[in-house]
Amino acid sequence: MDREEFAWIRNYLNKTQDQMARLLGVSPKAVQSFEQGWRRVPVHVERQILFLLAMQRDQQTSNKPCWVIQKCPIEKRRNCPAWEFQSGDLCWFINGTICQGEVQTSWHSKMEMCRQCKMFQSLLPPD
């Protein structure tokens, strides 16, 4: 997650840096550092802020589950945690999902793939 995306989400959620720090369990200085690009956004903070964004957006839209959008065969669905927990709108959040036929094992490689997916892209600002 880059600094512009972090700042966009904070502003979209209508939170001050202090409020965002409390929500994320970090210091206000950390939030300022993320937005200035002085520090990388840690994985646990990225997951949390994206989750908050998803919860806010979920109230405004009704998305089809990922397995419908990706047209996953039933055999793949049965082995995928997103299907198991009926969380096709949070597939990007759940580790170990089966995307493009492969189990995703690391957050960074998963997010590279998710950022190309319509399901995840629906959360973010238009380019």
Return the pLDDT at 64: 80
Pick one of 1.10.10.10, 1.10.260.40, 1.10.260.30, 3.30.450.20 as the CATH number of 3-58.
1.10.260.40
The pTM assigned to this predicted structure is 0.79
- In angstroms, rounded to a whole number, what is the distance separating the alpha carbons of residues 71 and 59? 24
Domains in the chain: boundaries: 3-58, 66-121
Return the pLDDT at 127: 59
Residue 114: partners with Cβ closer than 8 Å, 6 or more residues away: 91, 92, 99, 120
Which whole-number Å values give the CA distances from 50 to 47, 57, 90, in the listed order? 5, 10, 10
Return the pLDDT at 29: 97
Name the stretches of the chain with pLDDT < 50: none
pLDDT, tens digit, 9 for 90 and up, residues 67-100: 888 888 888 888 888 889 988 888 888 888 888 7
